[in-house]
Amino acid sequence: MSELRYDGQVVVVTGAGGGLGKAYCLFFASRGASVVVNDLGGSFKGEGTSTKAADVVVDEIKAAGGKAVANYDSVENGDRIIETAIKNYGRIDILINNAGILRDISFKNMKDQDWDLIIAVHVKGSYKCARAAWPYFRKQKYGRIINTASAAGLFGSFGQTNYSAAKLALVGFTETLAKEGAKYNIHSNVIAPIAASRMTQTVMPPDILENLKPDWVVPLVAVLAHKDSEENGQIFEAGGGHIAKLRWERASGLLLKADDTYTPGAILKKWDQISNFKNAEHPTGVADFLGLLEKSMQLGPNEQGETLDFKGKVALI
């Protein structure tokens, strides 16, 4: 099998001055792409700015014979980042929404500023970049978007309500982008990476970090960003050599007739069915849920094979 190449393609990587973003840039440039290296250059908490972060990566790419240009805008001004791609290279093919910051704090002590900044960088930033790239992708009937979620978003993580909310927002964002982009060959996927970076260096022990090189997230992103990839609207986790797809799972569930027997007590009686994943389904769209509702409306009076009589007890249970 020949190596995946990106010759003639233009890749925008946000937050690419270090960590994962830098690793993506070095890879794509080494495989023939022209790269826009975006980084605001602030601290991991989102304070300050500097041109150095992006410049160092551009210099490294150029020194190795690759093509790269720096951009220092915040992702909140994503249109300027995409403009850098268009002005310098005349096109954009791949957008990797990677920029991120942390403002970890227990929910009890969360300030509006901690919340707003996280949402602005992760959610609005990803939106602004994708929104600016979208017309180009549609016109050329081709585009690849990789958004960056996190295990914190998928599963929750102590002290990270703001970050978790933002990261799961990117899953929904990706799933809808995938649906809207499908017919234009615009594929959007979302990854939950884990890697040693300045973001994780204070929260994980050094021996674990040693085994979590950002380079080990790169191959997944490379595959998803490639023009031959059919993956669209999928969630992947990657880190330390592990890669896996994740999906939603719905328990076989409870289907009752939606009439006055549909009481809190009626569902309580069959609670095990609501949470039993033995014959689980894996829904991928709103239609899957609407289909269930239709089924529920068609149920006859005694479809469950028993008489549910909770009249008068509703207030109690």
Residues interacting with ligand NAI, by CB under 6 A? 14-15, 17-21, 38-42, 44, 46, 53, 74-76, 98-101, 121, 125, 148, 150, 193-195, 197-200
Across the strands, what pairs with 211?
Answer: none
Query: Whole-number minimum distance, CB 41 to ligand NAI, in Å?
Result: 6
Query: Whole-number minimum distance, CB 255 to ligand NAI, in Å?
Result: 38
How are strands ordered across the β-sheet holding 67-71?
A: 67-71, 34-38, 10-13, 94-97, 143-148, 186-193, 235-239, 242-246
Distance in angstroms (rounded) separating the CA atoms of residues 179 and 189 = 11
Distance in angstroms (rounded) separating the CA atoms of residues 273 and 103 = 39
> Helix, strand, or coil here: 220?
helix
CB closer to ligand NAI out of 168 and 266: 168
Is 136 annotated as catalytic? no
Closest C-alpha among 220, 101, 249 to residue 162: 101
Is 184 annotated as catalytic? no
Query: Whole-number minimum distance, CB 8 to ligand NAI, in Å?
Result: 26
CB closer to ligand NAI out of 60 and 76: 76
Query: Whole-number minimum distance, CB 193 to ligand NAI, in Å?
Result: 5
Estimate to the nearest angstrom the gap between the alpha carbon of 227 and the chain centroid.
19
- Residue of 22, 124, 128, 167 marked catalytic: 167
CB closer to ligand NAI out of 117 and 186: 117
User: Which single residue brings its beta carbon nearest to ligand NAI?
Assistant: 19
CB closer to ligand NAI out of 55 and 281: 55
Distance in angstroms (rounded) separating the CA atoms of residues 91 and 133 = 9
Q: Catalytic residues, which ones?
A: 163, 167
